[in-house]
Amino acid sequence: MKPVLDRALIWFRRDLRADDQAALYRALTSAKQVFCAFILDRDILDTLPRADRRVEFILGALQALDEDLRRLGGALIVRHGFATDEIPKLAAELGAQAVFANHDDEPQALLRDALVAERLKTFSAELRTFKDHVVFERREVMTAAGGPYGVFTPYKNAWLRKVDEFYLSSYPVERRTHAFAKTTLAKGVPSLKDIGFEPAGLTEHVGQGSRGAEALLDDFLDRIDQYDEKRNFPAVKGPSYLSVHLRFGTVSIRRLARIAHQLMQGGDHGAEVWLSELIWRDFYHQVMHHHPHAMGAAFRPEYDGIAWETGEHADTLFQAWCFGSTGYPLVDAAMRQLNQTGYQHNRLRMITASFLTKDLGIDWRRGEAYFAQQLLDYDLAANNGGWQWASSSGCDAQPYFRIFNPTSQSEKFDAEGRFIRRHCPELAGIDAKAIHAPWERAPLAMQGVDYPRPVVDHAVARERTLARYAVVKTRKV
């Protein structure tokens, strides 16, 4: 394909890699010279605490990306400012006729991109965007009637019917690297201090950008066949731990889905279950596209009629949940894992979300917002989808009368208490049978142990929840 543009700018966002990157490939095939940029966007950064693991992860990913681009003949221009100002200004400075970027369907991102597109028009440039973050997006998987899916299993079946080699194939960036342009504007990646941040204690296992993703993927492929058996047990190495890399695009979703799909076709049940999790990710992103109102309200409007607990006592309960001091060991261990590492095991996300909404009676939006602050892999579509699933207010959510018992969940998924002891060391001396409900089953052993009694009685809370949710049975929407 003969280039039709003289100069183009690739704007990296949530796609921080130099291989199999849709917008990067499109730019390299469309322009004679391609410049690369990332904006440390103050519209986002100025809202964050000065120590934030995500900022630390991004800078590491940018360092790896810059090294990869330089190896291929390019370089990364990094600027700290407002993206709506910096991208048009940089495009004008470089004489770029088009800015290439990948889709970001979050509501605020769509507003940002619309403003950038308008500002580019003032000097006859344009914004071109492409699918990259998911396998299928927007209107690519629809019902027979032409509407969006609201239930996962039919969506998954349609996804599997449609997927083929074309949709899972890579973009061969390496074939077009001659179009990369060198520039004196690429001065390396700033430090945390340069942009007003401090170290946040990023855990080493996530690695640096695409290199970290590669190491985690290699490790996971050695045990993917056991994923279906081990994924629910937080004390064992079951998950892929690639969620943060999917969030920031330091690994290609097409590559992961292609691997899983091929293994599934060969009879690997673990890979089949993992592919299903990747499809859930696509599902939640299409929900966000078709139902943007659900990003701040219940997907099912009748659930907005629920009277959540408010006031000082509710605030006290919320704080106990946030800091892992509810008196339910698995819930507390899970929240401490989140606070200490920025990661929480997927099974535990369901348990802690259910506990907040259905044991404490607190609005799911408060929990969603707290996870948004703490999660290294925070993704609006997935986080919102997960919280609305747990609170029964979302599409294809668990029924409102399904209420996780935190003690039985603990006994089932951390039977020996290994995960609990890891994050609640004050309970290290409690035996496996008693550790799931220590105040009830080992009162003598708990004497002198600095661990709280349960903040609620689960049986009583369950009845309150059933009464609270009764509104959804009577309200007409």
- Please write the tens of the pLDDT for every residue from 411-426: 999 999 999 999 999 9
Kindly report the average pLDDT of the chain as a whole number: 95
Q: Say what the pLDDT of residue 477 is.
A: 42
How much of the chain is in helix, strand and coil states, percent to nearest 5? Answer: 55, 10, 40
pLDDT grade for 188, boundaries at 50, 70 and 90 = very high
Torsion-angle region of residue 101: left (phi > 0), alpha (psi -120 to 50) or beta? Answer: beta
* Higher pLDDT, residue 184 or 476: 184
Residue in the block written with tokens 């998924």: 413
Average pLDDT over residues 357-385: 97
Neighbours of 150 (CB within 10 A): 17
- What percent of the chain has pLDDT above 70? 99
Average pLDDT over residues 283-301: 95
Q: Say what the pLDDT of residue 442 is.
A: 87
| Amino acid in the structure at residue 377 | D
CB 251 within 8 A of CB 210: yes
Average pLDDT over residues 131-141: 98
| Residue 83, SS3 per DSSP | helix
pLDDT over 50 at 106, yes or no: yes
pLDDT grade for 397, boundaries at 50, 70 and 90 = low
- What percent of the chain has pLDDT above 90? 92
- Tell me the per-residue pLDDT of 155-175, one tens digit each, with 9 for 90 and over: 999 999 999 999 999 999 999
Average pLDDT over residues 185-202: 95
Neighbours of 172 (CB within 10 A): 12
- Tell me the per-residue pLDDT of 419-476, one tens digit each, with 9 for 90 and over: 999 999 999 999 999 999 999 988 888 988 999 999 999 999 999 999 999 887 665 4
Q: Which residues pair with 100 in a beta bridge?
A: 10, 128
Average pLDDT over residues 277-290: 97
- Tell me the per-residue pLDDT of 335-354, one tens digit each, with 9 for 90 and over: 999 999 999 999 999 999 99
Q: Which residues are marked as active site?
A: 277, 280, 308, 346, 364, 387
CB 231 within 8 A of CB 238: yes
CB 190 within 8 A of CB 40: yes
Q: Say what the pLDDT of residue 338 is.
A: 97
Domains defined for the chain, CATH in brackets? 5-132 (3.40.50.620), 134-170+210-290 (1.25.40.80), 301-472 (1.10.579.10)
Give the C-alpha separation, 453 to 458, whole Å. 12
